Amino acid sequence: MAAIEGVPVSWERIRECFSLDPSIAYLNHGGRGAMPVSTQRALQRLRDEAESNPILFFRDLPQRIAHTRRHLATFLGADPDGSALVGNTTMGTAVVLQSLGLRAGDEVLLTDHRYGAVALTVDRECRRSGAAARTVRVPLDSTDDQIIATLGDALRPGRTKLLVVDQVSSATARRFPVEKIAAVAREQGVPVLVDAAHVPGMLPVAVDEIGADFWVGNLHKWAYAPRGTALLCVAPRWRDRIEPLAVSWQQESGFPDRVEWQGTLDYTPWLAAPTGLFTLRTLGLERVREHNATLAAYGQKVVGGALGLAGGDLPDPGAPEVAMRIVPLPGGRASTIDDAMALEARIADELATVVAVFSWDGRGWLRLAGQVYNVRAQYERLAESLPSILRG
């Protein structure tokens, strides 16, 4: 049995790898992730090192960050010299937007599956620059070909300065065919930013083969890194134009150093991120992915069945590897953001179960994730109790 940072890592003792409260069913790994104990210990060791001599720790930090960046970029099939560590996907999106030089008459195009904070980031930059944000509706049951056609038809060459598209959407757990979308946009001269918040660790990916101008993904969800760890990957023609949100002493060093270095931030989460990948590989990358996707699909089926929904009523994520699934809630339940948050809290408080509840396209949706620490019985208990909550 392998051990990382003194923690046993094996399928036979899988739940010991995490610090989750055993009294709850944590079915929302896609929300904030959950660090394995091995990553927690690596993080604490790095923090202890930093506090033992902060000046020495920060002196060598740029080289250590660069080493970590190379490790993470290689795992994702990205060019390390064209990648920068950032706090999260939304922050990476903000870096890209404020580097584009948007002006009045320009537009940024999003789909209605976009993450809420990303949409707010786009809106803010458009207000600052005089550009406009435009949202394209993509029906949940669209095929890949229909998605590609819808987005291709929505582009306005010369005016659309950026297309933002999810690789796996948060609210709808839908995989988008980003490689083909990027190809269509490239033909029309429109840059593409791929929001891949849920991709690292969940799906196999070769970022450089996607053909996007910008790609940003969180490693603190499915790749077991500490929260606050994401990678922004930038195509060569854009790298000289990328500016950080705040200037630091590395400003003249260019990309990626100028983006990564922000003075006295706590950089230990980034340095601990490779431990998360090592844990993932020790458990078996393909085995973890298959387990998680299969479990999420089972959860969707059993919870959907308890609500009277058959297979055709349950949205297809667009790829069997997706480790999140959504279940439509009865009409009138969680149809607003406030109602969705209230229902999510009630399920947590009364059923000791952590799930995600969203309001999307005028109705409520429950999102379930699958992770190695989950078991079928947790979804079955939710299925047994959820109908009474929804009737109350």
Q: Which domains does the chain have, with CATH numbers?
A: 2-34+284-391 (3.90.1150.10), 43-276 (3.40.640.10)
- pLDDT confidence of residue 331: 84
- The encoded tokens of residue 297 equal 């699909």
Instruction: Identify the residue with better confidence: 313 or 368.
Output: 368
**Residue 14 pLDDT class (50, 70, 90 cuts):** confident
Estimate to the nearest angstrom the gap between the alpha carbon of 160 and the chain centroid: 25
Amino acid at 236: P
- Please check the confidence at residue 180 and state whether its pLDDT lies above 80: yes
Mean pLDDT, residues 168-180 taken together:
97
Please report, as a single letter, which amino acid is at residue 162.
L
Burial of 123 (0-12, 13-18, 19+ CB in 10 A): middle
Q: In Å, what is the CA distance from 114 to each residue of 152, 169, 347, 362? A: 17, 7, 25, 15
Helix axes 144-154 and 178-187, enclosed angle (nearest 10): 30
Residue 194, sorted as left (phi over 0), alpha (psi -120 to 50) or beta, turns out to be: beta
- Give the N- to C-terminal CA distance of the chain in Å, as an integer: 47
What pLDDT shows up at residue 2?
A: 66
Element (H, E) at 356: strand 356-360
Mean pLDDT of 181-202: 98
pLDDT in tens, 324-363: 999 999 988 899 999 999 999 999 999 999 999 999 999 9
- Dist. CA 354–CA 349, nearest whole Å: 9
